[in-house]
Amino acid sequence: MFRQELEEYLKEYLNHLSATLTPQTISKHSRIIGYCIEYIDLYHSVKGFEDITLSMISSKLYGNYQSHFMENISRPSMLKIIKKYFEYIYETYGIGNKQLLNKLKNPSRR
C-alpha cells in the first residue's frame, strides 16, 4: 500500500518537473526514483515515510541500480534526485521523514 502511495506521488512529481526539465531528464528521474520505490518495497519492510533510512537508499540501492541499468551516474547525484523527490512530498503535503531529509542535505559527504 505504501508503494502505491509513493508511486502516486511520483506521477505528480514528474508532472511538476515537466515545467522545467527536458523529457530525457524527467525520464532519468523517473527511472531512478521508480527503482528506489521498488527497491524499498522489495527489500525492506517499510510501512511509511518514518521507516525509510539513509542506509536503505544509499550504497546498496546505488549498487543494485548500477547493476540493473549500467547507467553512468554518481552516488551523490542519485541521492540528490531521490532527495528532491522526498522534499517535494514534504513541501507539498507536509508528510515525510524530516530526519532522512536532513541526512540527505549533503549527499557527497555520505
Give the CATH number of the domain where residue 41 resides: 1.10.150
- Give the three cell numbers for residue 36: 528506489
For residues 28 and 100, give the distance between their C-alpha atoms in angstroms, rounded to a whole number. Answer: 22
User: pLDDT tens digits for 21-37?
Assistant: 999 999 999 999 999 99
Among 102, 59, 55, 67, which Cα is nearest to 83's? 102
Predicted confidence band of residue 71 (pLDDT cuts 50, 70, 90): confident
By percentage, how much of the chain surpasses pLDDT 90?
A: 74
Domain count, the chain: 1
For residues 13 and 18, give the distance between their C-alpha atoms in angstroms, rounded to a whole number. Answer: 9
Over the chain, what is the mean pLDDT? 91
- pTM score of the predicted model: 0.90
Range of the domain at 56: 2-109
CA angle centred on 94, ends 93 and 100, rounded to 5°: 115
